[in-house]
Amino acid sequence: MSNPTRPAELFPLILGSTVHDIKNSLSNVTRLLQHLAERSALAQTGDFKQLQFETSRINHSLMQLLVMYKIDCQAFGLQIDEYPAIDILKEAAAQQGTLEQLNGQRIEIDCDRNLLCYCDFQHVGSALGAVLNNAQRYSRRRILLSAGEHAGFCRFCIEDDGNGYPEHWLKADLRNPGGNDWLHGNTGLGMYFAAEIAAFHQNRSLRGYASIDNASRFGGARFCLFLP
């Protein structure tokens, strides 16, 4: 008779199944909110927009958790195709559009319409959206999304006009969240997720990666995602 599965081995399976169930329920909530938005004047209120944003944010967080679960189980793969880089930037901006309105911020896009990128559109857009969400928390008024060619890579950047990254973040390994502050919410999970997605993109000897600095054109933080 085989040994029963130990609790430590069961937990990843239970976690994956639970996250799927939560995502399904959240999808129903999102659809109900959309129906309500189409039929009620409440849709124009700040509280309703905040509710829509928070449900969207939870959905993206669950998606990231599922992806990292699949990566841990060695069951994750990309769907690579050719896309205009500007469409990826617009997708990231659209994901965070409600927060832009609530905070009175201005998101600008700077990208050549002819620039193409070979990548997984959904996961790269979500990764940039997660980092953009973080930038919106710390910026004052302006955020710039840009893309361009850089040393054999397609480089996506998110720049803001906030106070910049603290020194301990600038020294951190974005693909190793072990030293981050998990207890106080400042986990850098969005940057970790983006760095992991970038690393799955490979072209011959080149592998994607992410970097951070305080070289924003607006004087604040800058996050860059490099895809070969």
Give the pLDDT confidence of 88-131 residue by residue, as tens digits: 999 999 887 766 666 678 899 999 999 999 999 999 999 999 89
> Would you say residue 182 lies in a domain?
yes
117 with 153, same domain: the answer is yes
User: Do 121 and 220 belong together in one domain?
Assistant: yes
- Judge if 140 and 207 occupy the same domain: yes
134 lies in the same domain as 160: yes
Determine, yes or no, domain membership for 25.
yes
pTM over 0.85: no
Which domain, by its residues, includes 102?
81-227
| Domain count across the chain | 2
For the stretch 145-166, pLDDT in tens is 999 999 999 999 999 999 999 8
Max mean pLDDT among 39-53, 127-141, 194-208 falls in 194-208
pLDDT of residue 190: 81
216 neighbors 222 (Cβ within 8 angstroms): yes
Q: What is the rounded distance in angstroms from the CA atom of residue 118 to the CA atom of residue 201?
A: 9
pLDDT-derived band at 183 (thresholds 50, 70, 90) equals: very low
Structure tokens at 53: 């944003």
Nearest to 92 by CA among 37, 135, 130, 137: 130
Check whether residue 87 and residue 67 sit in a common domain. no
Residue type, 101: Q
- The CATH code of the domain that includes 146 is 3.30.565.10
Residue with the larger pLDDT of the pair 8 and 58 = 58
Q: Is the pLDDT of residue 2 over 80?
A: no
- Confidence category of residue 192, pLDDT binned at 50, 70, 90: confident
Residue 1, exposed/middle/buried by CB under 10 A (0-12, 13-18, 19+)? exposed
Statement to judge: residues 201 and 98 lie in one domain: yes
pLDDT in tens, 48-92: 878 877 887 788 788 888 888 888 778 788 899 999 999 999 999
Mean pLDDT of the residues in the chain:
84
Name the residue with tokens 């911020």.
105
Last residue of a domain, one of 25, 40, 72: 72
Query: Does 2 reside within a domain?
Result: no
**pLDDT recorded at residue 134:** 84
CA distances from 113 to 91, 116, 126, 148 (A): 14, 8, 20, 10
What count of other Cβ atoms lies within 10 Å of the Cβ of residue 81? Answer: 10
Q: Is residue 42 part of a domain?
A: yes
189 and 103 part of one domain? yes
Amino acid at 39: R
pLDDT of residue 160: 95
Supply angle C-alpha 211, 227, 78, rounded to 5.
Answer: 115
